[in-house]
Amino acid sequence: GQQVMQIPQYQHVQEGEDFTTYCNSSTTLSNIQWYKQRPGGHPVFLIQLVKSGEVKKQKRLTFQFGEAKKNSSLHITATQTTDVGTYFCAGGDFAGGTSYGKLTFGQGTILTVHP
């Protein structure tokens, strides 16, 4: 079945440094979504990418979808303490049939920001 891998598992940065997490799928994806989960909280939807090579920005966050639609990245510029949490990518694969809504989540990257 489809697998989604994320690296790194952990990232510790000083406030103001940049951060990147990478997501790789074993199959071609129909779409990819990114979620943020604060400690003790639940995943919160950040963004969705659908097109090959797509790049989207949200303030200091930049999201990319690879040309082959098998990988994605999230880059945060000049991290702040409010960026602390676990970032998950989640891939959809419509090619298998009718399960359009199912997402396969990566294991997440835990970001710690030291002030």
Partner 1 sequence: GAGVSQSPRYKVTKRGQDVALRCDPISGHVSLYWYRQALGQGPEFLTYFNYEAQQDKSGLPNDRFSAERPEGSISTLTIQRTEQRDSAMYRCASSLGDIFYGYTFGSGTRLTVV
Q: Which spans of this chain sit near partner 1 (rule: CB under 8 A)? A: 4, 6, 31, 33, 35, 41-45, 47-48, 50, 88, 90, 94, 98-108
Q: Least separation, in Å, of the C-beta of 78 and partner 1?
A: 25
Of 22 and 88, the one with the shorter C-beta distance to partner 1 is 88
Residue type, 97: G
Pairwise CA distance, residues 63 & 47, whole Å: 8
Residue 60 carries which DSSP code?
A: T
Pairwise CA distance, residues 9 & 108, whole Å: 6
Pairwise CA distance, residues 21 & 76, whole Å: 9
Q: Least separation, in Å, of the C-beta of 75 and partner 1?
A: 20
Q: Least separation, in Å, of the C-beta of 19 and partner 1?
A: 18
